[in-house]
């Protein structure tokens, strides 16, 4: 890893009396699997939306692949893939129709779209409407749509929330493969085991601030504790609640 895929500096975002993001700075190296870990309400999603260029920061800047992400930078759209927390599918389309529609936005062929569907294990569900897919299948389709144009940098916002344990593990395998193909992956999660299993480094976040960044095992070792839950307790003085 020799270059930064993301550089965020001094990001702030306020909604009324709530400081959702409070001076967040971090850097993600090219090819890294980077996690932003914190409980619900920590500011993870807002941080990701600012970095992706979906939301304007009150202060600070974010650069993706060397380019400012805000004001909205259309030059970046082909180079990044975004899987939102709420899957944004078109109504009454099958899985095949969904991914082919996303592919058409980038002038990507139907053949490439169908291959992407196969790569996430959904070929046998190609003719099923998205509202008839299981939670895990819908998440895999959402990720496939985010990858169909072969982006260098992929953002995943809480991709396994609400999935049963087996579906989560299946999705973890897919995410590892996405990263092993050379893509930079940024994941937000409130699951400690997910962060520890998948991420090269994690940023522990709470109340809009990043408290500590490092490889999960290194954070645990440096603080002389037994788990990431203990790391959070050490940093915040309170127990972690998913």
pLDDT digits (tens, 9 = 90+) for 161-179: 888 999 999 999 999 999 9
Kindly state the percentage of the chain with pLDDT values over 70. Answer: 98
User: What is d(CA 195, CA 61) in angstroms, rounded to the nearest whole number?
Assistant: 25
Q: Is 10 helix (H, G, I), strand (E, B) or coil?
A: strand
pLDDT score for 143: 92
Q: List Cβ<8 Å contacts ≥24 apart for 82-85.
A: 82/52, 82/54, 82/146, 82/154, 82/155, 83/142, 83/143, 83/145, 83/146, 83/154, 83/155, 83/156, 83/157, 83/159, 84/142, 84/157, 85/45, 85/157, 85/158, 85/161
Q: How many residues in the chain? A: 242
Q: Are 213 and 34 within 8 A, CB to CB?
A: no
Q: Are 224 and 201 within 8 A, CB to CB?
A: no
- Average pLDDT of the chain is 94
**Token representation of residue 30:** 């090219």
Q: Tell me the average pLDDT across 3-8.
A: 94
Q: Tell me the average pLDDT across 17-34.
A: 97
Q: Is 152 helix (H, G, I), strand (E, B) or coil?
A: coil
pLDDT digits (tens, 9 = 90+) for 173-218: 999 999 999 999 999 999 999 999 999 999 999 999 999 999 999 9
Judging by DSSP bridges, how do beta strands 184-189 and 153-157 pair with one another? parallel
In this structure, what is the dihedral angle of CA atoms 153, 180, 159, 208, given to the nearest 10 degrees? -60
Q: List Cβ<8 Å contacts ≥24 apart for 222-228.
A: 227/192, 228/37, 228/192, 228/195, 228/196, 228/202, 228/204
pTM for the model stands at: 0.94
pLDDT at 100 over 60: yes
Reported as a pLDDT band with limits 50, 70 and 90, residue 86 is low
User: What is d(CA 113, CA 144) in angstroms, rounded to the nearest whole number?
Assistant: 8
């Amino acid at each position: 890893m020799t270059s930064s895929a993301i550089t965020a500096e001094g990001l702030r975002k306020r909604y009324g009396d709530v400081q959702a993001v409070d001076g967040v700075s971090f850097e993600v190296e090219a090819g890294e699997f980077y996690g932003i870990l914190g409980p619900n309400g920590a500011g993870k999603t807002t941080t990701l939306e600012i970095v992706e260029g979906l939301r304007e920061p009150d202060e600070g800047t974010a650069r993706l692949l060397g380019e400012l992400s805000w004001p909205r930078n259309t030059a970046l759209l082909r180079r990044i893939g975004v899987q939102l927390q709420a899957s944004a599918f078109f109504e009454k389309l099958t899985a095949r129709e969904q991914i082919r529609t996303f592919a058409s936005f980038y002038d990507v062929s139907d053949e490439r779209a169908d291959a992407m569907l196969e790569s996430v294990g959904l070929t046998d569900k190609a003719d099923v409407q998205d509202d008839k897919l299981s939670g895990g299948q819908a998440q895999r389709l959402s990720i496939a749509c985010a990858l169909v144009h072969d982006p260098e940098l992929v953002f995943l916002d809480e991709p396994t929330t609400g999935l049963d344990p087996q579906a989560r593990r299946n999705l973890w395998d897919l995410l590892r493969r996405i990263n092993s193909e050379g893509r930079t992956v940024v994941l937000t999660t409130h699951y400690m085991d997910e962060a520890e299993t998948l991420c090269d480094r994690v940023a522990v976040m709470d109340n809009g601030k990043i408290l500590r960044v490092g490889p999960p095992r290194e954070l645990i070792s440096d603080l002389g504790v037994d788990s990431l839950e203990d790391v959070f307790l050490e940093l915040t003085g309170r127990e972690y609640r998913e």
